Structure 1
Amino acid sequence: MSALTSTGPGPLPDPTRPEVGAALFSTWSVGTPERQRAAVEAIATTWDNRPWPSPDLLSYNVYAGTDGDTLMHHSQWTSEAAYHAFFRTRRQERNDAIDSAVPDIKRLGLSHYQRYRSFSAPAAPVGTADPGLIVLAEIDFDDPDPRLRRAWVDLVIEALESEPDPGLLAADFHLIVDGEGHLSTDRARVLTYARWTGAEAYEAAMAADGPRAGSSAWDRVRDVPGLVGSTSRGYRFQRSFVPRSAP
């Protein structure tokens, strides 16, 4: 029998959990900060008052974009097949309940990733405490060979280990998976889930005259053949939903 969800905000998810066979990320556009807050409340009401949908769902996490418009959803499943079972039987009813409270939500897409490697700053606190800012970056390549993406991630981690960014707590690098049905994609993409102490530290690291400028290690990252561009958004953690029996 499925347990109820926990009622507290819960800790930030651990992207390195070995049980995670499928990490799913999706984005909603809701329009305004007021609608962001209302959508988070509607999600919490919907999930807190229904049975946990599957033992194969390890956590479901919601983040609000610093743009005042987007919500990011990050769910951890034991497998993609388990997600599709939820999609067929329980997902629409929950979305309908949320839409009745906050109409006209735009769902911008859902993608399936698997974690490849992670980086943690030596001085970063142990555990899953809420950082000041979470940045989700999507890096696109024009070559479908996954070895190129893995090599790029290896270079990034090498650069972070030799020239760490002040304020970066951890970064988890995921490779996109060509999944079933509506999750299938022809994109060659890396997704980075990075935890920062705050927006100021992130903006300083990304600045044209910041610590990465003129760095030979970061030049190698930028000059990888097949790298065609990237986009990123900042988020703040809102809620984590987990089975009541989960630690």
Structure 2
Amino acid sequence: MSGAASPLPDLARPDVGAALFSTWSVGTPERQRATVEAFAATWDSRPWPTPELLSQNLYLGTDGDTLMHHAQWTSEEAYHEFVRTQRRQRVDEIDAAVPGIQRNGIARYQRYRGFDTRTEGDPRVPGCIAVIEIDFDDPDPDLRRAWIDLVIEALETDPDPSPGLISADFHLIVDGDRHLATDRARALNYAQWTSEEAYDAALASSAPGVGSVTPQWERIRRFQGFKGSTIKRYRFERAFVPR
């Protein structure tokens, strides 16, 4: 059976071979809640699908419409086997409970690097997950790595860091098989903040990294190949894990 509610997933665990991110659009906060309940009922009533699924994590979008799924698999092949043999039954049960869910696609990522501000005994709790998708106009993955390296350097050297930023985990998109194949040159930043208010305050005060005048942030603003980014905010709802 799937496990009970648990802490946020460890994005740096070494046995994750495929980090899969996807979103569903459901329309209203009431349908968000109904979809969460249907998803939990479906997963709780079945055996854990395979040991190769390490965790299945569910997030509620603060827009009142979106749900994000973040699944940690040992390999992409294990995910495709789940799709072939078990996914349809689960999806059908959820759709019967909440008709009309729009599924917006799924992409495979691999974590590249992270930045963490926590020290031992840090009491801060993530109240907001900001998921930032960063697009580039050059397919060279070394360009994306260079951009991430520069952002982490800027965060590490920022003289006025935001106290609300807990961590940031940067991922590179991976061109997988079948519906996971993509031609996007993209990175993803999964950033934990203490609250939406802290995140808004950081943006409003141009810290960290929005308007700071350090040489590192200036280089990021002038970075050749950066195309743009989109940001969505989520609240962690539940992790499903094997017992």
* Deviations, residues 44-92 of structure 1 (Å, cap 9, x unaligned): 0000000111110000000000000000000000001110000111111
Corresponding residue number in structure 2 for 1:24: 20
* One-letter identity of the residue aligned with 1:98: I
Q: Tell me if the contact between 1:12 and 1:130 (Cα under 8 Å) persists in the aligned partners.
A: no
Corresponding residue number in structure 1 for 2:136: 141
Within a 5 Å distance, the mapping from 1:126-137 to structure 2 comes to 131-137=126-132
Q: Tell me if the contact between 1:124 and 1:170 (Cα under 8 Å) persists in the aligned partners.
A: no
Matched, 1:70 2:66: yes
Within a 5 Å distance, the mapping from 1:155-194 to structure 2 comes to 155-163=150-158, 164-194=161-191
- The 1-side partners of 2:204 and 2:146 are apart by 25
How far did residue 211 of structure 1 move?
A: 5.0
Corresponding residue number in structure 1 for 2:226: 227
- The 2-side partners of 1:15 and 1:138 are apart by 16
* One-letter identity of the residue aligned with 1:135: A
Among residues 44, 51, 54, which one is paired with 2:47 in the alignment? 51
In structure 2, the CA distance between the partners of 1:92 and 1:124, relative to structure 1 (3 Å rule), is: farther
- The 2-side partners of 1:209 and 1:82 are apart by 42
Q: Tell me if the contact between 2:42 and 2:90 (Cα under 8 Å) persists in the aligned partners.
A: yes
Per the normalisation by structure 2, the TM-score is 0.94
Over aligned residues, Cα RMSD in angstroms? 1.6
Within a 5 Å distance, the mapping from 1:67-106 to structure 2 comes to 67-106=63-102
How far did residue 135 of structure 1 move?
A: 0.6
How far did residue 27 of structure 1 move?
A: 0.3
- The 2-side partners of 1:121 and 1:180 are apart by 36
How far did residue 210 of structure 1 move?
A: 4.5
How far did residue 166 of structure 1 move?
A: 2.1
Corresponding residue number in structure 2 for 1:9: 5
Within a 5 Å distance, the mapping from 1:186-225 to structure 2 comes to 186-207=183-204, 209-210=206-207, 212=209, 213-216=211-214, 217-225=216-224
How far did residue 214 of structure 1 move?
A: 3.9
In structure 2, the CA distance between the partners of 1:124 and 1:103, relative to structure 1 (3 Å rule), is: farther
* One-letter identity of the residue aligned with 2:213: S
Worse-superposed segment, 213-222 or 174-183: 213-222
Identity of aligned residues (%): 64
In structure 2, the CA distance between the partners of 1:103 and 1:166, relative to structure 1 (3 Å rule), is: same
Provide structure 1 residue ranges, at least 5 long, that are not aligned to the other structure. Answer: none
Structure 2 residue matching 1:220: 3-state secondary structure: helix
Q: How many aligned residue pairs are there? A: 239
Structure 1 residue matching 2:11: 3-state secondary structure: coil
Worse-superposed segment, 74-83 or 115-124: 115-124
Q: Tell me if the contact between 2:48 and 2:242 (Cα under 8 Å) persists in the aligned partners.
A: yes
Per the normalisation by structure 1, the TM-score is 0.93
- The 1-side partners of 2:122 and 2:11 are apart by 14
